[in-house]
Amino acid sequence: MSRRVRLLAGTKRGLFLFTSRDRRTWESTGPLLVGREVYSTRFDPRTGSIRACTTHSVWGTHIHVSEDFGETWQTLTEAPHYDDARGVTAVWEVVAGHASTWARLYAGIEPAGLFVSEDGGESWSGVDALNTHPAAETWQPAGGALALHSIHVHPADARRVICAVSAGGVYRTIDGRHWQPVNAGTRAEFLPQRYPEAGQCVHRLLVHRLNPERVYQQNHNGVYVSDDFGGSWREITNGLPSDFGYALALDPNNPDAAYVIPEESSHMRATVAGRLRVYRTRDAGASWEALTRGLPQENAYVSILREGMTSDTLDPCGVYFGTSSGHLFASANAGDDWQLIAGFLPRILSVSAVVL
Protein backbone atom coordinates (compact mmCIF):
# COMPACT_ATOMS: atom_id res chain seq x y z
CA MET A 1 0.00 0.00 0.00
CA SER A 2 1.48 3.35 -1.03
CA ARG A 3 -1.20 5.71 0.30
CA ARG A 4 -0.83 7.01 3.82
CA VAL A 5 -3.56 6.73 6.42
CA ARG A 6 -3.86 9.31 9.16
CA LEU A 7 -5.82 8.69 12.33
CA LEU A 8 -7.09 11.61 14.36
CA ALA A 9 -7.59 10.52 17.96
CA GLY A 10 -9.50 13.12 19.92
CA THR A 11 -9.06 12.86 23.67
CA LYS A 12 -10.13 14.62 26.84
CA ARG A 13 -6.87 16.59 26.73
CA GLY A 14 -6.27 17.27 23.05
CA LEU A 15 -5.79 15.71 19.63
CA PHE A 16 -3.19 13.11 18.62
CA LEU A 17 -2.26 12.17 15.04
CA PHE A 18 -1.05 8.75 13.92
CA THR A 19 0.21 8.26 10.36
CA SER A 20 1.16 5.08 8.51
CA ARG A 21 2.02 3.88 5.01
CA ASP A 22 1.34 0.21 5.71
CA ARG A 23 -1.20 0.40 8.58
CA ARG A 24 1.23 -1.62 10.69
CA THR A 25 3.90 0.92 11.67
CA TRP A 26 2.65 4.26 12.94
CA GLU A 27 4.24 7.65 13.62
CA SER A 28 2.63 9.86 16.24
CA THR A 29 2.25 13.63 16.58
CA GLY A 30 0.69 15.63 19.36
CA PRO A 31 -0.97 16.62 21.44
CA LEU A 32 -2.56 19.39 19.38
CA LEU A 33 -5.53 21.53 20.48
CA VAL A 34 -3.96 21.03 23.88
CA GLY A 35 -6.25 20.80 26.89
CA ARG A 36 -9.45 20.66 24.86
CA GLU A 37 -11.97 17.83 24.80
CA VAL A 38 -12.13 16.81 21.13
CA TYR A 39 -15.67 15.53 20.54
CA SER A 40 -15.25 14.74 16.85
CA THR A 41 -13.20 15.35 13.72
CA ARG A 42 -14.71 15.30 10.21
CA PHE A 43 -13.06 15.35 6.78
CA ASP A 44 -14.71 17.54 4.13
CA PRO A 45 -14.23 15.84 0.74
CA ARG A 46 -15.26 19.02 -1.10
CA THR A 47 -12.30 21.05 0.16
CA GLY A 48 -9.91 18.57 1.78
CA SER A 49 -10.23 20.37 5.10
CA ILE A 50 -10.90 18.80 8.49
CA ARG A 51 -13.09 20.31 11.21
CA ALA A 52 -12.76 19.51 14.89
CA CYS A 53 -15.35 20.21 17.57
CA THR A 54 -13.98 20.92 21.03
CA THR A 55 -15.02 22.14 24.42
CA HIS A 56 -13.03 23.47 27.36
CA SER A 57 -14.09 24.28 30.91
CA VAL A 58 -12.64 27.81 30.60
CA TRP A 59 -12.45 28.60 26.87
CA GLY A 60 -15.85 27.15 26.01
CA THR A 61 -17.03 25.46 22.81
CA HIS A 62 -15.28 25.96 19.47
CA ILE A 63 -15.00 24.66 15.93
CA HIS A 64 -11.49 24.40 14.46
CA VAL A 65 -10.41 23.99 10.83
CA SER A 66 -7.27 22.37 9.43
CA GLU A 67 -6.15 22.62 5.80
CA ASP A 68 -3.14 20.28 6.21
CA PHE A 69 -4.83 17.10 7.46
CA GLY A 70 -4.69 18.04 11.13
CA GLU A 71 -1.16 19.36 11.56
CA THR A 72 -2.19 22.98 12.20
CA TRP A 73 -5.53 24.47 13.21
CA GLN A 74 -7.47 27.72 13.04
CA THR A 75 -10.41 28.51 15.30
CA LEU A 76 -13.67 29.77 13.81
CA THR A 77 -15.18 32.88 15.36
CA GLU A 78 -18.70 31.50 15.56
CA ALA A 79 -20.15 28.29 16.96
CA PRO A 80 -23.79 27.27 16.45
CA HIS A 81 -25.95 28.03 19.46
CA TYR A 82 -29.48 28.83 20.58
CA ASP A 83 -30.24 32.53 20.97
CA ASP A 84 -31.76 32.01 24.40
CA ALA A 85 -30.76 30.67 27.78
CA ARG A 86 -29.98 27.24 26.28
CA GLY A 87 -26.97 28.62 24.39
CA VAL A 88 -24.63 25.73 23.61
CA THR A 89 -22.91 23.27 25.90
CA ALA A 90 -21.01 21.40 23.17
CA VAL A 91 -20.86 21.00 19.40
CA TRP A 92 -20.90 17.27 18.76
CA GLU A 93 -20.06 17.31 15.07
CA VAL A 94 -19.83 19.47 11.96
CA VAL A 95 -20.35 17.71 8.62
CA ALA A 96 -20.10 18.77 5.00
CA GLY A 97 -23.20 19.49 2.99
CA HIS A 98 -23.91 17.94 -0.39
CA ALA A 99 -21.19 18.13 -3.05
CA SER A 100 -23.37 20.62 -4.95
CA THR A 101 -23.50 23.00 -1.96
CA TRP A 102 -19.92 24.13 -1.69
CA ALA A 103 -20.13 26.14 1.53
CA ARG A 104 -22.99 24.41 3.36
CA LEU A 105 -22.26 22.76 6.70
CA TYR A 106 -24.49 21.06 9.24
CA ALA A 107 -23.81 20.96 12.97
CA GLY A 108 -25.33 18.97 15.80
CA ILE A 109 -25.16 20.50 19.25
CA GLU A 110 -25.97 19.99 22.91
CA PRO A 111 -28.65 20.85 24.04
CA ALA A 112 -29.99 18.88 21.09
CA GLY A 113 -30.41 20.93 17.93
CA LEU A 114 -29.52 20.94 14.25
CA PHE A 115 -27.88 24.03 12.76
CA VAL A 116 -26.85 24.94 9.21
CA SER A 117 -24.27 27.32 7.77
CA GLU A 118 -24.24 28.50 4.15
CA ASP A 119 -20.88 30.27 4.41
CA GLY A 120 -18.46 27.63 5.62
CA GLY A 121 -19.13 28.15 9.31
CA GLU A 122 -18.85 31.93 9.49
CA SER A 123 -22.49 32.12 10.62
CA TRP A 124 -25.14 29.62 11.71
CA SER A 125 -28.92 29.34 11.89
CA GLY A 126 -31.10 26.77 13.57
CA VAL A 127 -33.15 24.29 11.55
CA ASP A 128 -36.42 25.24 13.20
CA ALA A 129 -38.49 22.64 11.37
CA LEU A 130 -36.61 20.01 13.39
CA ASN A 131 -35.61 21.88 16.53
CA THR A 132 -39.21 22.94 17.23
CA HIS A 133 -40.86 19.78 15.91
CA PRO A 134 -43.66 18.51 18.21
CA ALA A 135 -41.68 15.30 18.71
CA ALA A 136 -38.95 17.35 20.40
CA GLU A 137 -41.14 17.30 23.49
CA THR A 138 -40.06 13.67 23.90
CA TRP A 139 -36.35 14.52 23.93
CA GLN A 140 -34.63 14.01 27.25
CA PRO A 141 -31.05 13.91 28.56
CA ALA A 142 -29.39 10.50 28.38
CA GLY A 143 -26.13 9.17 29.86
CA GLY A 144 -24.23 10.94 27.09
CA ALA A 145 -26.20 14.19 27.48
CA LEU A 146 -29.03 15.54 25.32
CA ALA A 147 -27.30 15.89 21.97
CA LEU A 148 -27.98 15.81 18.24
CA HIS A 149 -25.37 13.83 16.32
CA SER A 150 -24.76 11.46 13.37
CA ILE A 151 -25.77 13.85 10.60
CA HIS A 152 -25.71 12.48 7.04
CA VAL A 153 -26.62 14.06 3.71
CA HIS A 154 -27.80 11.70 0.97
CA PRO A 155 -25.13 11.81 -1.78
CA ALA A 156 -27.76 11.68 -4.54
CA ASP A 157 -30.01 14.45 -3.23
CA ALA A 158 -29.00 17.53 -1.22
CA ARG A 159 -32.51 17.79 0.20
CA ARG A 160 -32.39 14.42 1.97
CA VAL A 161 -30.77 14.55 5.40
CA ILE A 162 -30.92 12.15 8.34
CA CYS A 163 -29.68 12.58 11.91
CA ALA A 164 -30.10 11.22 15.43
CA VAL A 165 -30.87 12.57 18.88
CA SER A 166 -29.82 11.00 22.15
CA ALA A 167 -32.33 10.58 23.60
CA GLY A 168 -34.92 11.47 21.00
CA GLY A 169 -34.73 9.12 18.02
CA VAL A 170 -33.88 9.32 14.32
CA TYR A 171 -35.18 12.17 12.15
CA ARG A 172 -35.02 12.83 8.43
CA THR A 173 -36.14 15.20 5.73
CA ILE A 174 -36.70 14.17 2.13
CA ASP A 175 -37.59 17.58 0.76
CA GLY A 176 -35.19 19.78 2.75
CA ARG A 177 -38.05 21.54 4.52
CA HIS A 178 -40.17 19.10 6.51
CA TRP A 179 -38.75 16.82 9.19
CA GLN A 180 -40.27 13.67 10.64
CA PRO A 181 -39.26 11.05 13.23
CA VAL A 182 -38.38 7.73 11.57
CA ASN A 183 -38.14 5.12 14.30
CA ALA A 184 -40.49 2.35 13.17
CA GLY A 185 -39.23 -0.94 14.58
CA THR A 186 -36.77 0.42 17.16
CA ARG A 187 -37.25 -0.23 20.87
CA ALA A 188 -37.24 2.16 23.84
CA GLU A 189 -37.36 -0.13 26.87
CA PHE A 190 -37.01 2.86 29.22
CA LEU A 191 -40.28 4.46 28.03
CA PRO A 192 -43.87 3.41 28.84
CA GLN A 193 -44.45 2.50 25.19
CA ARG A 194 -41.94 -0.04 23.89
CA TYR A 195 -42.09 1.12 20.26
CA PRO A 196 -42.88 4.85 20.39
CA GLU A 197 -42.89 7.19 17.41
CA ALA A 198 -40.04 9.17 18.97
CA GLY A 199 -37.93 9.31 22.13
CA GLN A 200 -35.53 6.43 21.43
CA CYS A 201 -31.93 6.81 22.54
CA VAL A 202 -29.79 6.48 19.41
CA HIS A 203 -26.10 6.14 20.17
CA ARG A 204 -24.69 6.12 16.62
CA LEU A 205 -26.08 6.24 13.09
CA LEU A 206 -24.13 5.58 9.87
CA VAL A 207 -25.10 5.71 6.19
CA HIS A 208 -23.22 3.51 3.74
CA ARG A 209 -21.35 5.42 1.06
CA LEU A 210 -22.03 2.91 -1.78
CA ASN A 211 -25.68 2.30 -0.95
CA PRO A 212 -26.97 5.33 0.97
CA GLU A 213 -30.38 3.73 1.42
CA ARG A 214 -28.59 1.29 3.77
CA VAL A 215 -28.36 2.82 7.24
CA TYR A 216 -27.19 1.19 10.47
CA GLN A 217 -27.72 2.32 14.04
CA GLN A 218 -26.43 1.28 17.44
CA ASN A 219 -29.25 2.07 19.80
CA HIS A 220 -29.57 2.07 23.57
CA ASN A 221 -31.72 -1.03 22.97
CA GLY A 222 -30.29 -2.97 20.07
CA VAL A 223 -28.58 -2.75 16.69
CA TYR A 224 -30.72 -2.01 13.63
CA VAL A 225 -30.48 -1.75 9.85
CA SER A 226 -32.63 0.14 7.36
CA ASP A 227 -32.88 -0.27 3.58
CA ASP A 228 -34.96 2.84 2.92
CA PHE A 229 -32.86 5.68 4.38
CA GLY A 230 -34.31 5.18 7.83
CA GLY A 231 -37.95 4.88 6.81
CA SER A 232 -38.20 1.53 8.60
CA TRP A 233 -35.83 -0.54 10.72
CA ARG A 234 -35.05 -4.22 11.28
CA GLU A 235 -33.42 -5.31 14.52
CA ILE A 236 -30.20 -7.32 14.05
CA THR A 237 -29.14 -7.73 17.69
CA ASN A 238 -29.52 -11.52 17.67
CA GLY A 239 -26.07 -13.11 17.95
CA LEU A 240 -24.57 -10.30 20.06
CA PRO A 241 -23.86 -10.73 23.79
CA SER A 242 -25.69 -7.49 24.65
CA ASP A 243 -28.11 -5.05 23.06
CA PHE A 244 -26.24 -2.06 24.52
CA GLY A 245 -23.22 -0.21 23.13
CA TYR A 246 -22.02 2.97 21.50
CA ALA A 247 -19.40 2.03 18.90
CA LEU A 248 -20.36 1.43 15.27
CA ALA A 249 -18.32 1.32 12.06
CA LEU A 250 -18.97 0.18 8.49
CA ASP A 251 -16.87 -1.41 5.78
CA PRO A 252 -17.10 1.30 3.10
CA ASN A 253 -16.60 -1.30 0.36
CA ASN A 254 -19.38 -3.65 1.49
CA PRO A 255 -22.87 -2.43 2.50
CA ASP A 256 -23.50 -5.74 4.28
CA ALA A 257 -20.51 -5.39 6.62
CA ALA A 258 -20.65 -3.57 9.96
CA TYR A 259 -18.78 -3.57 13.27
CA VAL A 260 -19.98 -3.03 16.85
CA ILE A 261 -18.47 -3.38 20.33
CA PRO A 262 -21.22 -4.46 22.74
CA GLU A 263 -21.12 -3.32 26.35
CA GLU A 264 -22.50 -5.05 29.43
CA SER A 265 -25.50 -2.79 30.04
CA SER A 266 -26.55 0.81 30.45
CA HIS A 267 -25.60 0.47 34.12
CA MET A 268 -22.17 -1.13 33.65
CA ARG A 269 -21.14 0.61 30.38
CA ALA A 270 -18.06 -1.57 29.93
CA THR A 271 -17.13 -4.49 27.71
CA VAL A 272 -19.12 -7.68 28.31
CA ALA A 273 -17.39 -9.92 30.90
CA GLY A 274 -14.22 -7.81 30.65
CA ARG A 275 -13.45 -9.17 27.18
CA LEU A 276 -12.64 -6.62 24.49
CA ARG A 277 -14.34 -8.05 21.41
CA VAL A 278 -15.30 -6.45 18.13
CA TYR A 279 -18.28 -8.10 16.45
CA ARG A 280 -18.52 -8.13 12.66
CA THR A 281 -21.38 -8.95 10.35
CA ARG A 282 -20.92 -9.53 6.63
CA ASP A 283 -24.55 -10.35 5.90
CA ALA A 284 -26.32 -7.20 7.15
CA GLY A 285 -26.86 -8.58 10.63
CA ALA A 286 -28.09 -12.09 9.85
CA SER A 287 -25.05 -13.36 11.77
CA TRP A 288 -22.18 -11.97 13.84
CA GLU A 289 -18.65 -13.16 14.56
CA ALA A 290 -16.44 -12.14 17.47
CA LEU A 291 -13.06 -10.74 16.45
CA THR A 292 -10.53 -11.22 19.23
CA ARG A 293 -7.07 -11.76 17.74
CA GLY A 294 -4.77 -9.15 19.33
CA LEU A 295 -7.39 -7.88 21.79
CA PRO A 296 -7.31 -8.52 25.58
CA GLN A 297 -9.81 -11.18 26.63
CA GLU A 298 -9.78 -10.75 30.38
CA ASN A 299 -9.86 -7.84 32.84
CA ALA A 300 -10.49 -5.32 30.04
CA TYR A 301 -13.39 -3.38 31.48
CA VAL A 302 -13.36 -0.41 29.12
CA SER A 303 -15.90 1.56 27.16
CA ILE A 304 -15.79 2.86 23.60
CA LEU A 305 -17.71 6.07 23.12
CA ARG A 306 -20.05 7.25 20.36
CA GLU A 307 -17.29 8.69 18.15
CA GLY A 308 -14.66 6.18 19.26
CA MET A 309 -14.71 3.76 16.30
CA THR A 310 -14.15 4.29 12.58
CA SER A 311 -12.85 2.74 9.35
CA ASP A 312 -10.82 3.91 6.38
CA THR A 313 -11.75 3.67 2.69
CA LEU A 314 -9.04 1.23 1.55
CA ASP A 315 -9.70 -2.37 0.54
CA PRO A 316 -9.51 -4.32 2.75
CA CYS A 317 -10.65 -1.58 5.05
CA GLY A 318 -8.78 -0.58 8.16
CA VAL A 319 -10.84 -0.50 11.35
CA TYR A 320 -9.85 1.56 14.39
CA PHE A 321 -11.14 2.28 17.88
CA GLY A 322 -10.06 4.02 21.07
CA THR A 323 -11.01 3.20 24.65
CA SER A 324 -11.88 5.07 27.80
CA SER A 325 -8.51 3.92 29.17
CA GLY A 326 -6.63 5.74 26.39
CA HIS A 327 -5.70 2.73 24.25
CA LEU A 328 -5.90 2.94 20.47
CA PHE A 329 -6.33 -0.26 18.44
CA ALA A 330 -6.05 -0.81 14.68
CA SER A 331 -6.78 -3.57 12.21
CA ALA A 332 -5.35 -3.46 8.68
CA ASN A 333 -7.42 -6.39 7.42
CA ALA A 334 -11.08 -5.56 8.09
CA GLY A 335 -10.90 -6.74 11.70
CA ASP A 336 -9.30 -10.16 11.29
CA ASP A 337 -6.51 -9.19 13.68
CA TRP A 338 -5.66 -6.16 15.82
CA GLN A 339 -2.67 -4.31 17.19
CA LEU A 340 -2.29 -1.73 19.93
CA ILE A 341 -0.77 1.35 18.31
CA ALA A 342 -0.91 3.66 21.33
CA GLY A 343 -1.55 3.26 25.03
CA PHE A 344 -2.05 5.47 28.05
CA LEU A 345 -3.39 8.43 26.12
CA PRO A 346 -5.98 10.59 27.83
CA ARG A 347 -9.52 9.23 27.66
CA ILE A 348 -10.30 8.80 23.93
CA LEU A 349 -13.48 10.56 22.86
CA SER A 350 -13.28 10.28 19.07
CA VAL A 351 -11.37 8.55 16.28
CA SER A 352 -11.50 9.32 12.55
CA ALA A 353 -9.42 8.15 9.60
CA VAL A 354 -8.32 10.01 6.47
CA VAL A 355 -6.55 8.47 3.49
CA LEU A 356 -3.97 11.02 2.38
Per-residue pLDDT band at 166 (split at 50, 70, 90): very high
Q: Specify the amino acid at residue 119.
A: D
pTM value surpassing 0.85: yes
Per-residue pLDDT band at 217 (split at 50, 70, 90): very high
Q: Alpha-carbon distance 222 to 260, whole Å? A: 11
pLDDT tens, residue by residue, 18-55: 999 999 999 999 999 999 999 999 999 999 999 999 99
- Distances from the Cα of 285 to the Cαs of 35, 141, 207, 210, 253, in angstroms? 39, 29, 15, 18, 16
The domain segmentation of the chain, as residue ranges, is: 36-126
Angle at 331 between CA 291 and CA 286, to 5 degrees: 40
Are residues 106 and 95 in contact, defined by beta-carbon separation less than 8 angstroms? yes
Residue 222 φ/ψ region, left for φ over 0, alpha for ψ in the -120 to 50 degree band, beta for the rest: left
Per-residue pLDDT band at 143 (split at 50, 70, 90): confident
Are residues 202 and 221 in contact, defined by beta-carbon separation less than 8 angstroms? no
